[in-house]
A and B are shown apart, each in its own frame.
Chain A
Amino acid sequence: MKPAPFEYYAPTSVEEALATLQTLGYDGKVLAGGQSLIPAMNFRMARPAALVDLNKVNELFYIKPTSDGGLAIGTMTRDSVVEKDPLVAERFPIVPYVVKHIAHPQIRNRGTFGGAIAHADPAAQIPALSVALNARFLVRKQGGERWVNAEDFFMGPFMTVLEPEEMLAEVVLPPMAKGSGASYQQVSRQKGGYAQAAVISVVVVDENKRCKDARVVLFSVGETPILSQTAPKILVGNVPTAEAIAEVAEKISKEEVDPGTDIHGTAEYRRHLVKVLVRRGLTEAFERAK
């Protein structure tokens, strides 16, 4: 058999799952969609002592509207469900567009929205999307819970602020502000493949077309999703000109990303991609915001 042996727990409620995680401590690992974890176990790169499978915890599968115009997404909601949900498309048109770029249909039928966030692959779309949309995460453990902002959640490649006994239970997307526009840009070698560089841009403009907010999140070019500090500094308060956007793109590519070199591309090439993709992304996001 491919994976190393492990103890298997299949709780049917959140309470039972949290109690199991509490007992197991560092030996326990949550199994969500398994589309990253099980391949890693097949290679024996991951050898968890025990898996706590959430696939039978029905109360973790949902998409609910929040009264302020946002959404609450249960951690086990499958990517394909998010991709096809009419309410998601209506309130956050960028979300299904980004989700469509995750791997392949068979993987999206199984992979989960919360699982991708907790896994924290630096090349994954959903962690970056959650930062771009200013999401908040409900983190639960036995007898307690806390809320964590997306931008404070990711600590490094495959590392988050989650403690072993904790579980990401829900993702809350606050409503898109009036006058907002979003764009997703990526370059990958083939459809469904990891992006060599990618950027999600969410901007807000006022009635005079001045920029009120600009959240530009890069991924696959650093250890975590990178929320640009440069973009709001240059853009907020001004009408975004082509020159200003080009300046942002230039600065981000030089100062804010830290891409690596591998067989598919050099760091220098990826910086070039960042520059081009940020320019295209911000241009498109501002066009959509009008």
Chain B
Amino acid sequence: MNTETLDKLDSYSKNKYKYGFVTDIDSDKPKKGLNEETIKFISTKKNEPEWMLDWRLNSFSKWKKIKEPKWSNLNFPKIDYQDIYYYSAPKGFEKKPKDLSEVDPKLIETYNKLGIPLEEQKVLAGVAVDVVFDSVSVATTYKGQLEKLGIIFCSISEAIQKHPELVKKYLGSVIPPGDHSFSALNSAVFTDGSFVYIPENVKCPMELSTYFRINSENTGQFERTLIIADKGSYVSYLEGCTAPKRDENQLHAANVELIALEDAEIKYSTVQNWYPGDEEGKGGIYNFVTKRGLCAGNNSKISWTQVETGSAITWKYPSCILKGDNSIGEFYSVAITNNYQQADTGTKMTHIGKNTKSKIISKGISLGKSQNTYRGEVSFLRKADKARNYTQCDSLLVGNKCGAHTVPYIESKNNSAVIEHEASTSKINEDQLYYCRQRGLSHEEAVSLIVNGFCKQVLQELPMEFAVEAQKLVSISLEGSVG
């Protein structure tokens, strides 16, 4: 890196998180701390049936026995689970509002500020949105139109009430509560999230979308998302996340389970822009997320796309279990870390069925004093005849105080399966910078352009509407250090 670039790195070290405002709204909280009382409080608030409470308590007893996973390349102080609020709802949400006129105008204003079109008339064509504010789902748009097709798109709390048979059958079937400590934690205290069911042979005509926002102080957010694509169906789902600027760290431990039955396809896209902390590394979200998809049926497909720019800590491995023959798993990821952010993210592709295919494209960009790790596991089990995997993970370093790490685990137990893995780490190519600047682009524009080009393979996987947003987000994330 030449001196000019280093000077720029210094002069542009202001943080520009524009979603960092707080909405001043009364909220309804239980006492701090994790115990059976808290869990019962949540369950009662949500008017849950007994089986649900039992499931939560059972998960809690598992959580008490499991230690936090230690293998990641992350450094953070021990989380004090007793110093967190496990439920927070804007006052007056004991009963879900029937329509938007019942929603606190301040809340609507918040979402407008975030650019989330809550009011139906402002909704972008073709996107149905479920919004989760702190712990509760606020509104689901386009509900009527989806119902006509038999598609269920509602909050998970509502699904527990109205579709208990589906919830009972699938909740925890891909991520068992006892899988690891964060899945047990989420299973015990999850407050809300989205539920999607696409019936047989239905192609969902619009993008389904959830927008998550953490507002209250010292509040953990534990949402649970469950998506079931029945035989021959298709759905594309997008989630976005923001949180206010606060000096304390906030915990976010979501669980997302996807189930694709025979010939079904689920496309799941995430643009994660939780508050990353300030330039000194103070504050920010601890993002410990478990996302796992099961290609249960033959010829099914699950595709994960993620753009991770936020959070102080990201611990996240959207995975695919390729059980059905000919099933396909994909993972496309862009992770950008700046200042003191730490990300340890990647995927796990477990090939069980014959002719299963997976593809992993990961692009990591480290700036400032951040640490960015790709961690991925690809395994071919004994019966995965003719399975294929292709993995490509590239890292880019901008500045000499950050780190980029690649930790792939590759295992084959089948001699007809083929795994191919490529990875590279380098700094931004000086010749490319020179070329762009010779055409009159400023240094910052050139960096932004090259990084966007570097990420293109991933960004082009996002649904149209969000690809543009994501590109902007990539440029904004670079702003902190290159201009």
The answer on A and B forming one complex is: no
